[in-house]
Amino acid sequence: MPLSRLGQVGLALVLAGILFLALRPSSQGVSRPGEESVRTYEEEISSALSRVLSQVQGAGRVEARVFLEEGPVRLYARENERRQNRAEESLPGGGARTSQEATSSARVVTVAGSGGQQPLVEGIRQPTVRGVLVVAPGAVDENVRLELARAVEALLDVPLHRVEILPGKEVRR
């Protein structure tokens, strides 16, 4: 069901407010650890997505913004050790008592590298996409909007309910 012009303006204002809150610097001027790398990663993905989506017929010049839960996470190789001890004890009254103790420990595997020992990276867990905002002049057409949404879904493996496609104004250059 298409939104009325007033509904589209209201939705755009709400999303603009959310975008403003998400992008504003922290009030203390100090970023959390890893926040800069997440923002850089978001910007790289957003830029690449904008370029690809701009190739969709009828879309026009697309601006895309990807929001991530966190950045990529390195998974380090671990060496796990598990020990179990079992002791049986005879009681003076003729019974027996059994006790068990289990301990486990893990340590990160390191390898020699430049600058000394470094942890061995086993893999990288890709970040989870929190949401995607796409603004395109061609999104006034329902078919173009649907194609853009499906492209985002396929490229980023993100469910459609986390993708918002809005019509934008054509920028002349």
Q: pLDDT tens across 112-133, in order? A: 888 888 888 888 887 888 999 9
| pLDDT tens sequence across 132-151 | 999 999 999 999 999 999 99
Domain ranges in the chain are 5-72+128-167, 75-121
Mean pLDDT of the chain: 80
Topology classification of domain 5-72+128-167: GMP Synthetase; Chain A, domain 3 (3.30.300)
CA atoms within 13 A on the CB side of 121: 7
**Location of structure tokens 């949404």:** 149
Which pLDDT value is given to residue 7?
A: 53
Which pLDDT belongs to residue 53?
95
Which residues are within 8 A (CB) of 96 and not within 5 positions of it... i.e. 6 or more apart?
Answer: 88, 89, 90
The helix (H) or strand (E) run that includes residue 65 is: strand 63-68
How distant, in Å, are the alpha carbons of 31, 41, 64, 134 from that of 48?
A: 25, 11, 9, 12
Per-residue pLDDT reduced to its tens digit, 156-167: 999 999 999 999
For the full predicted model, state whether its pTM sits above 0.75. no
Cα–Cα distance between 166 and 66 in angstroms, integer?
14
> pLDDT at residue 57 above 70?
yes
